[in-house]
Amino acid sequence: MNEIAGQDTSLTTVQRRMGNRDIAEGAARTAVLRRRYDAPIDDVWNAITAPDRVDRFFLPLSGDLRAGGSFALQGQASGEILACDAPHLLRLQWTPPGDPGYSDQVEVRLTADGPDATWLELEHASVADVFRNDPDTGCYGVGTGWEGPLHYLGEYLRGVLPDRPSTEWYTFDEAEELRLANYRGTEWAKVEAQHARNTGHA
């Protein structure tokens, strides 16, 4: 367990689903995560869009940060900012490093739940095979991958994390990361199987 961030107590409260939608690359599958934060919508929006806050719980962010501009998350992804409607919608072209030959699309939607709470819904769409979850082989998809950053966002908004870049406080705990990946991956494998049954691909 990371000593600063603490244990992920949101594991059972994250709402997970899979779907299908068209993006610029073609017919895509989607992984959708939804969870509630005890913070006003403007604070959550600022936390996920301001470079000096994003790097507190995720990674260094740079670029021409406006609709039609571009962004880069260090070591994670880069691309065009397709839409930016504060404080409700952020849509990104999401190109992994190494020129994989395709670009995903990530969309974040915020909805106020009264004056002091916010629902965040993150949708990751891709034409590539990036959704498979098999804890037995250690294969985890993008849904599993997004759960960590959303957990750390919650800890940051609660004031648990230090007000300095995550590169200065985060320490990798292999055993704890494996435990979390196994739990999250198992939950996503269930969602994937249910989606396959619903769409007749089981």
Sequence spans of domains, the chain: 15-196
174 to each of 1, 11, 171, 177, 181, how far by Cα in Å? 9, 18, 10, 5, 10
User: Which pLDDT belongs to residue 5?
Assistant: 46
pLDDT along the chain (202 residues), means of 10: 53 91 97 98 99 98 98 97 98 93 97 98 96 83 95 96 94 89 91 90 70
Fold of 15-196: Alpha-D-Glucose-1,6-Bisphosphate; Chain A, domain 4 (3.30.530)
Q: Compute the distance between CA of residue 149 and CA of residue 146 in angstroms, rounded to an integer.
A: 6
User: Which pLDDT belongs to residue 103?
Assistant: 96
Residue 150, H or E segment? helix 142-157
